A = this chain, B = another copy of it.
Amino acid sequence: MKVWKRFIRMKLELSVRVMETQISEIQKPEINGKQTHIDLLKTINNRHRLLSTPELRAIVKIESSLLKGAREYFEKQGFIEIVVPHMTKATGACENIATMFEIDYFGHKRYLSQTAQLYLEVLTPSLNKVWCIGPSFRAEPMADERHLTEFTLIELEFAGDFEQLLHHVESVICSMLDSALKESAKELIFLNADTERLRGIRKPFQRMTYTKAVGLLSDFGVKWGDDLKSNHEKLLVTLTDNQPLFITHFPTTIKFFNMKENDENPAIVNSADLLLPSSGEAVGAAEREYRHERLRERLQSSSMFRQLVEKGGSIEDFRWYLEFYENHGIPHSGCGIGLNRITQFVLGTDDIRATTAFPMNRESIL
């Protein structure tokens, strides 16, 4: 056990050195004396001057084929598309109300939505399997290689449990990769993507519990109950030979209020984050609480709810949602898949600005 742990530690420390080297290369692309195709796409100043380049054309085609692959899976599996609202009350929040853009909606404070989750959830009892793809908005002040203020989120919700959920996540992603390999092979090669690596991605993905992950990261100051930071996520991925890795069963206290508590241990929820090489967390997935009383209690004791009250909001924002669960709750699960994170993984790039034609951050708005 000690030898194994020392091995892991050596591997982690090696990864840290590799990552540091990679990061310094990103910040100083002139080190090699030449830019790669991907380097060109990291530019946000005067983005419009890139619009007719073969690099941007390639990225658009790859992104388009990834979206097509996701939809193909939904079609085959009988998921129904839902048109969801993007201007919402706090029910459009994804954990953190502080990062919601506020809009003046005829004199009332409203938000740009971060997730359609609650809107998909309430259609699950009657439609069984539903999905949507659309913009997710984050008022993220950092304009760097990891943050966007608007990105595309692929969301699904269905009447089923945790195991079925992880299978859907794996299947959507494999369908996206297959579609990119089939429809955009030339573009992937042009951008130096490692197509052999993509072809090697197989279901089921590897899994590790949050508790085990924290054990491996204890030498890096991570304690049980902490959220994992992006550098921790990247280290964990290196342990799986750069394969997709589910981290499962996070502490209840650090996750969204309606993630279902584990039957055997209510201190953890039946949730999973999917970590990918290059991008880190690309998917958040969970079974949902559907019992009305427990939902209300969990919401009112959540940190998100405290934030809402501090901003002048109240339980009234969630009235329609809670009222729905008085009569219509059934067991269900769902997830959100960040398209740009999948594209990062496909391209093998640490820079999210390289993943789309119009990357949106504080400085790049057109």
| Residues on A facing B (Cβ under 8 Å) | 46-49, 51-53, 56-57, 60-61, 63-64, 67-68, 71, 75, 80-89, 91, 101-106, 110, 112, 119, 122-123, 125-127, 134-135, 137, 139, 141, 149-150, 152, 320-321, 323-324, 327-328, 339, 356-358, 360, 362, 365-366
Copies in the complex: 2
A324, B126: Cβ atoms closer than 8 Å: no
Chain B min CB distance to A137 (Å): 7
A123, B86: Cβ atoms closer than 8 Å: no
A60, B82: Cβ atoms closer than 8 Å: yes
Residues of B within 8 A of A82 (CB): 60, 64, 357
Chain B min CB distance to A22 (Å): 26
A64, B52: Cβ atoms closer than 8 Å: no
B83, A356: Cβ atoms closer than 8 Å: yes
Label chain A's interface by main secondary structure: mixed
Which of A57, A83, A125: most chain B Cβ within 10 A? Answer: A83
Chain B min CB distance to A123 (Å): 6
- Closest chain B residue to A88 by CB distance? B366
Knowing A71-B71, A81-B64, A365-B87 are in contact, say whether A102-B105 is a contact too (CB < 8 A).
Answer: no
A86, B135: Cβ atoms closer than 8 Å: yes
B366, A91: Cβ atoms closer than 8 Å: yes
B137, A135: Cβ atoms closer than 8 Å: no
Residues of B within 8 A of A89 (CB): 365-366
Chain B min CB distance to A81 (Å): 4
A104, B102: Cβ atoms closer than 8 Å: yes
Knowing A52-B126, A87-B365 are in contact, say whether A81-B67 is a contact too (CB < 8 A).
Answer: yes
A101, B91: Cβ atoms closer than 8 Å: no
Given contacts A48-B321, A83-B357, A85-B365, 10 further A-B contacts (CB under 8 A): A47-B320, A51-B122, A52-B125, A53-B126, A56-B126, A63-B81, A87-B112, A88-B365, A102-B104, A135-B135
| A80→B60 CA distance, assembly (Å) | 8
